[in-house]
Chains A and B, each alone.
Chain A
Amino acid sequence: MSKVVASLQEAIRLCGLKDGMSISFHHHLRNGDYVLNMVMDEVSKLGIGELTINASSLFDVHLPLITHIQNRTVTKLCTDYVSAGIGRWISQGILQEPVEFRTHGGRPSDMLLGRTPVDIAFLAVPTSDTMGNCTGKVGKSACGSLGYAFPDAMCAKKVVVITDNLVDYPLQNWSIPETYVDYVVPVEAIGNPAGIVSGTTQITRDPVGLVMADLAAQVIRYSGLLKDGFSFQTGAGGASLAAAKFLKEIMVKEKIQGSFGLGGITGYLVEMLQAGCFQTLLDVQCFDLKAVESLRTNPRHQEISSIHYASPTAKSAVVDNLDVVILGATEIDVDFNVNVHTDSSGYLMGGSGGHSDTAAGAKLAMVIAPIVRARMPIVTDHVMCVSTPGRDIDVLVTEKGIAINPAQKQLKQRLSDAGLPVMDIAQLKQMAEKVTGIPRKVPRGDRVVANVIYRDGSLLDRVYNIP
């Protein structure tokens, strides 16, 4: 028996795709993904329309999607993140129905609860056998973890696996088992390896970034959480990676044996694992080749699904055991609400991803940002879009000093006692405004182009069109 079908079009036909259905994609191939465009081209040729796309993230490699929206092949988007190119089209109002933004934990939760039913999941996988046992760890397009693809495989009525490395049955060490898969489609290439993972992720050389990273590591050191059993997540941004490097130096020097490193995994977290800073890495997504290699070869580096990572309705999720997370922000307001959806002109250029999941779960959620980015103060009176509620953000680290959420009195005391430059968040805002002046409010339209749905399913905020 084999589930291999000759072409993508045949698989689409066999799945019974019809007008108005919902189809899903994961984003592990990031900006190197060929599969979403490949599927949509076939769907378009078949003349099927009014579709909902539920994608864990959309990158600018997916810009051909705009044509499918203009042709009404696609009329609704659900996603956790959009790159700036696609974001600009959405902000200009290309879709009649608002885009639904979820979190990386909220997306699988809503799929499993049946709130966002998926008719067909198209899973790009770097290696699959003829029955659909598949993995991202090997193959010419290896991306490492397939964490975000698990809920799609588990919840969609039909599942199509698309691979450029079809192997004999049974594949060893699979991630997603054949039990979920209906059809397997071999193609020449699922993506461009250069855009899937970077060769190496580099820590910042920007002196201001390094100052912030050093301060972030000191905040962790004196938070009271840095002890044996410590758990940690950080992003792939330059300053976040530098903070991980400084943290590693402290952990090695003080012989602290952490429990786990979580999240999107980079080579720096792999180095921390190898240096004995963690017992294990829990990996929902690999950001670079070193992380992919480690996931493939080190049994202490473990792949997890997005459900396991962050779903608020799972019986338990890893984020709930997280000590510290380092996060970014395009804006943060004096009530610590964070915007990671829109840029300073109000255009969509991001999304929560795991931001609000980890902020809600971690004991210490820290945002790192310079007080002025480009020409704008990072601290505002009110963020243009609430991506993560301020109640879940504990610390803002800037190059000028750190601001502690007033709810965290004990933490404020600890960090002040340690001699760290603790300030009021309004002070940081004033410092920035002294340089930049007070920016005028960005004009916005009156049409809602996106709804920001919090991890529990409630509506957190709305994003309006830019006229």
Chain B
Amino acid sequence: MRRSMLFLPGNTPNMIIHGDSLGADAIILDLEDAVAPDEKDAARILVRNALQYQDFGRCETIVRINGLDTSEWQLDLQTLCPLQPDFIMPPKVGSAEDILKIDHYLSQLETQLHLPPNAVGLIALLETALGIENAFAIASASSRVKALFLGGEDLTADLHCQRTAKGEEIRYARSRLVCAARAAGIDAYDTPFTDVNDDEGIWEDAQFARSLGFTGKAAISPRHVKAINQVFSPSEKEIAYAYEIMEVIQAAKEQGRGAVSLRGKMIDAPIVERAKQTIAMAQALQEIGGSNYV
């Protein structure tokens, strides 16, 4: 279950030490934009040590490495892959070739480190017009790619438009990315809501992202995590409905009936699939203490 992914700058020990306490399902330890060029090495060492010595509990760890157009990304992977973070997040992925380039390098590293092939998973950050247009090719370029993640800030700069709270300017990119990810059978994550003082806006933005089909959403502020978790958690009503569907399906199966309806609505395969997803998520939530503390 990965509803929320919280960015933490890789050079802030006081934030990283609390990484697992901020409510996010995953933290993104950032070596890229949040870190000044002259602090890249310090951040890399700090993130390495945090992964080595700190217990992040149920919170997943993702490392955003430096871009493929820099001299840092290979050093990032050399330093951090031995610690096996849950995912590596390459930024500004523009094409399938970018993925293949990382894939090739990771395969070499895995051999050197005696890790199983494809041990290192990728969440590809798409934040250029080219990346969005190549979304499906990126998503299906390698089995390492487990999710696509939209970066709205860089994208709007590339699109030559203003980033707004309402987000009309990235509506196409959002839909295109979700569609590509789902077509490739992987997850899709929405861009962070960047106004940390807008406590209402985050709810609307997260609800809109969920309505488009995103799996979850990134956050740049811990204050946004709770809203994201709640929006991307199934409601009690949704959970109850999912169980009802599964009961009706089971009953129909026992009675040998093919066509099934619930309160006048046909229950077909996609609805059953969604119900299964909802129940799986509800069970995962139960394991971490229910939805009261999310």
Contact B18 A419 (CB under 8 A): no
Contact A207 B293 (CB under 8 A): no
Contact B292 A420 (CB under 8 A): yes
B11-41: contact bitstring with A at CB < 8 Å (1 yes, 0 no)? 0000101100111000000000000000000
Residues of A in contact with B, size category? 10 to 19
Interchain Cβ contacts under 8 Å between A and B, 16 examples:
A207-B223, A208-B18, A208-B21, A210-B222, A211-B21, A211-B22, A214-B226, A222-B292, A372-B17, A399-B21, A418-B290, A418-B292, A419-B286, A420-B292, A421-B289, A434-B55
**Known pairs A222-B292, A399-B21 / 17 extra A-B pairs, C-beta < 8 Å:** A205-B223, A207-B18, A207-B22, A207-B221, A207-B222, A208-B21, A208-B22, A211-B21, A211-B22, A211-B23, A218-B293, A399-B18, A419-B286, A419-B291, A419-B293, A420-B292, A420-B293
What CA separation (Å) do A372 and B289 show in the bound complex? 24
Query: Smallest CB-CB separation from B55: which chain A residue?
Result: A434
Query: Smallest CB-CB separation from A398: which chain B residue?
Result: B21
- In the complex, whether A251 has a CB less than 8 A from a CB of chain B is no
CB distance from B25 to the nearest CB of A (A): 14
A-side contacts of B293, CB under 8 Å: 215, 218, 419-421
A-side contacts of B223, CB under 8 Å: 205, 207, 210
A416-435: contact bitstring with B at CB < 8 Å (1 yes, 0 no)? 00111100000000000011
CB interface residues, B 125-174, toward A, < 8 Å: none
B-side contacts of A211, CB under 8 Å: 21-23, 222
A-B contact count (CB 8 A): 40
Query: Smallest CB-CB separation from B23: which chain A residue?
Result: A211
Contact B21 A400 (CB under 8 A): yes
Q: Footprint of A on B, CB under 8 Å?
A: 15, 17-18, 21-23, 55, 221-223, 226, 286, 289-293
Contact A419 B21 (CB under 8 A): no
B-side contacts of A420, CB under 8 Å: 289, 292-293
A-side contacts of B55, CB under 8 Å: 434
CB distance from B191 to the nearest CB of A (A): 20
What CA separation (Å) do A434 and B56 show in the bound complex? 13
CB distance from B112 to the nearest CB of A (A): 31
Q: Footprint of B on A, CB under 8 Å?
A: 205, 207-208, 210-211, 214-215, 218, 222, 372, 399-400, 418-421, 434-435
What CA separation (Å) do A434 and B54 show in the bound complex? 9
CB distance from B203 to the nearest CB of A (A): 13
Query: Smallest CB-CB separation from B54: which chain A residue?
Result: A435
What CA separation (Å) do A207 and B289 show in the bound complex? 21
With contacts A207-B18, A211-B21 known, is A419 near B222, CB below 8 A? no
What CA separation (Å) do A419 and B221 show in the bound complex? 25
What CA separation (Å) do A215 and B290 show in the bound complex? 14
Query: Smallest CB-CB separation from A371: which chain B residue?
Result: B21
A-side contacts of B23, CB under 8 Å: 211
What CA separation (Å) do A327 and B74 show in the bound complex? 50
CB distance from A17 to the nearest CB of B (A): 52
What CA separation (Å) do A211 and B22 show in the bound complex? 6
Query: Smallest CB-CB separation from B294: which chain A residue?
Result: A419
A-side contacts of B17, CB under 8 Å: 372, 435
B-side contacts of A214, CB under 8 Å: 226
CB distance from B181 to the nearest CB of A (A): 29
Query: Smallest CB-CB separation from A418: which chain B residue?
Result: B292
Pick the most buried of B17, B289, B293: most chain A CB atoms within 10 A of its CB. Answer: B293
CB distance from B198 to the nearest CB of A (A): 14
What CA separation (Å) do A315 and B293 show in the bound complex? 41
CB distance from A367 to the nearest CB of B (A): 17
Query: Smallest CB-CB separation from B15: which chain A residue?
Result: A207
Q: CB < 8 Å: which of A205, A207, A419 contacts B292?
A: A419
A-side contacts of B291, CB under 8 Å: 419
What CA separation (Å) do A215 and B21 show in the bound complex? 11
What CA separation (Å) do A218 and B223 show in the bound complex? 17
What CA separation (Å) do A400 and B290 show in the bound complex? 16
A-side contacts of B22, CB under 8 Å: 207-208, 211
Q: CB < 8 Å: which of A400, A419, A435 contacts B289?
A: A419
**Nearest 3 interchain pairs by C-beta:** A419-B290, A207-B222, A419-B289
Query: Smallest CB-CB separation from B286: which chain A residue?
Result: A419
What CA separation (Å) do A210 and B290 show in the bound complex? 20
B-side contacts of A434, CB under 8 Å: 55
B-side contacts of A208, CB under 8 Å: 18, 21-22
CB distance from A430 to the nearest CB of B (A): 11
Pick the most buried of A372, A419, A434, A435: most chain B CB atoms within 10 A of its CB. Answer: A419
Query: Smallest CB-CB separation from A205: which chain B residue?
Result: B223
B-side contacts of A419, CB under 8 Å: 286, 289-293
CB distance from A229 to the nearest CB of B (A): 23
Query: Smallest CB-CB separation from A212: which chain B residue?
Result: B21
What CA separation (Å) do A163 and B226 show in the bound complex? 50
CB distance from B228 to the nearest CB of A (A): 14
A-side contacts of B286, CB under 8 Å: 419
What CA separation (Å) do A434 and B57 show in the bound complex? 14
What CA separation (Å) do A289 and B293 show in the bound complex? 34
B-side contacts of A218, CB under 8 Å: 292-293
CB distance from A182 to the nearest CB of B (A): 53
Query: Smallest CB-CB separation from A215: which chain B residue?
Result: B293
B-side contacts of A372, CB under 8 Å: 17
A-side contacts of B18, CB under 8 Å: 207-208, 399
B-side contacts of A222, CB under 8 Å: 292
B-side contacts of A210, CB under 8 Å: 222-223
What CA separation (Å) do A435 and B17 show in the bound complex? 9
CB distance from A347 to the nearest CB of B (A): 24
B-side contacts of A205, CB under 8 Å: 223
CB distance from B223 to the nearest CB of A (A): 6
CB distance from B278 to the nearest CB of A (A): 18
Query: Smallest CB-CB separation from B292: which chain A residue?
Result: A419
CB distance from A375 to the nearest CB of B (A): 12
Pick the most buried of A208, A214, A435: most chain B CB atoms within 10 A of its CB. Answer: A208
What CA separation (Å) do A34 and B291 show in the bound complex? 52
What CA separation (Å) do A215 and B286 show in the bound complex? 17
B-side contacts of A435, CB under 8 Å: 17
What CA separation (Å) do A435 and B22 show in the bound complex? 17
A-side contacts of B290, CB under 8 Å: 418-419
B-side contacts of A207, CB under 8 Å: 15, 18, 22, 221-223
CB distance from A268 to the nearest CB of B (A): 15
What CA separation (Å) do A372 and B13 show in the bound complex? 14
What CA separation (Å) do A419 and B15 show in the bound complex? 26
What CA separation (Å) do A434 and B15 show in the bound complex? 17
What CA separation (Å) do A400 and B20 show in the bound complex? 8
What CA separation (Å) do A217 and B260 show in the bound complex? 44
What CA separation (Å) do A253 and B141 show in the bound complex? 48
What CA separation (Å) do A437 and B173 show in the bound complex? 49
